[in-house]
């Protein structure tokens, strides 16, 4: 038996205010297959497609009346969406933008455009780069062989274009010591300048 997503008999309430607006611009498509992905994103998961620029622009326009203060973008991997750079350029005309990415597919020309867009905007562009360990052995066990070095290369590329990325990490082992985990990531960052 299928259940309806919306009860047609339920009273409809109009949204009057919203602080943060999240866009799943990458759908469920990702270039990685991480074993802990809560929506099973992968190169083969096309369950939810990309949001195109026109759709995002429509919601950006609607967001003004709702008082949205910040915009967040996620996926799958947002930068697999061919419109991602244009989406972020447009969003910076409305407010600050944060994009959650695995950092492995950046192109210099995208970051050059985004650097120019942020410089021309009164709002900030923030990159949150996800990884799952402060060593290749730890990270690649979750995200796949070679991803640790690809993530670090993406972080370096962000730095080259004047962005200060935030590393978003997941504790992948319940027995991990938080102090050791933090110390390991601090060493990783120090070792990489």
Q: What is the rounded CA–CA span in Å between residue 133 and residue 143? A: 10
CA distances 92 to 104, 151, 161, Å, are 23, 25, 17
Would you list the DSSP string of 163-176? --PEEEE----TT-
Domain positions in the chain are 20-191
Which superfamily does 20-191 belong to? Aldolase class I (3.20.20.70)
Nearest residue to 151 via CA among 109, 117, 185, 180:
185
Residues contacting 88, CB < 8 A, separation 6+ = 73, 97, 99, 114, 117, 125
* Burial of 79: CB neighbours in 10 Å, binned 0-12, 13-18, 19+: buried
Per-residue pLDDT of the chain (193 residues; tens, 9 = 90+): 344 455 567 666 677 888 999 999 888 766 576 767 666 766 677 788 899 999 999 999 999 999 999 999 998 899 999 999 999 999 999 999 999 999 999 999 999 999 999 999 999 999 999 998 889 998 888 888 999 999 999 999 999 999 999 998 877 777 878 888 889 989 988 988 8
CA distances 98 to 92, 129, 156, 174, Å, are 10, 11, 18, 28
Per-residue pLDDT, 1: 38
């Amino acid at each position: 038996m299928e259940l309806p997503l919306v009860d047609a008999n339920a009273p409809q309430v109009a949204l009057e205010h919203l602080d943060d607006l999240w866009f799943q611009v990458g759908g469920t498509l990702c270039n990685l297959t991480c074993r802990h992905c809560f929506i099973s994103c992968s190169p083969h998961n096309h369950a939810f497609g990309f949001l195109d620029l026109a759709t995002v622009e429509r919601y950006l326009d609607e967001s003004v009346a709702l008082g949205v203060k910040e915009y967040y973008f996620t996926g799958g991997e947002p930068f697999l969406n061919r419109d991602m750079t244009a989406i972020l350029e447009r969003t910076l005309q409305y407010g600050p933008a944060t994009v959650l990415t695995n950092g492995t597919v950046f192109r210099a020309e995208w970051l050059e455009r985004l650097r120019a867009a942020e410089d021309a905007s009164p709002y900030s562009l923030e990159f949150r780069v996800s990884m799952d360990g402060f060593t290749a052995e730890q990270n690649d066990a979750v995200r796949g062989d070679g991803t640790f070095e690809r993530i670090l290369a993406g972080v370096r590329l962000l730095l080259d274009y004047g962005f200060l990325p935030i590393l978003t990490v997941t504790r992948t082992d319940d027995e991990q010591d938080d102090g050791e985990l933090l110390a390991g990531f601090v060493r990783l960052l120090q070792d990489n300048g």
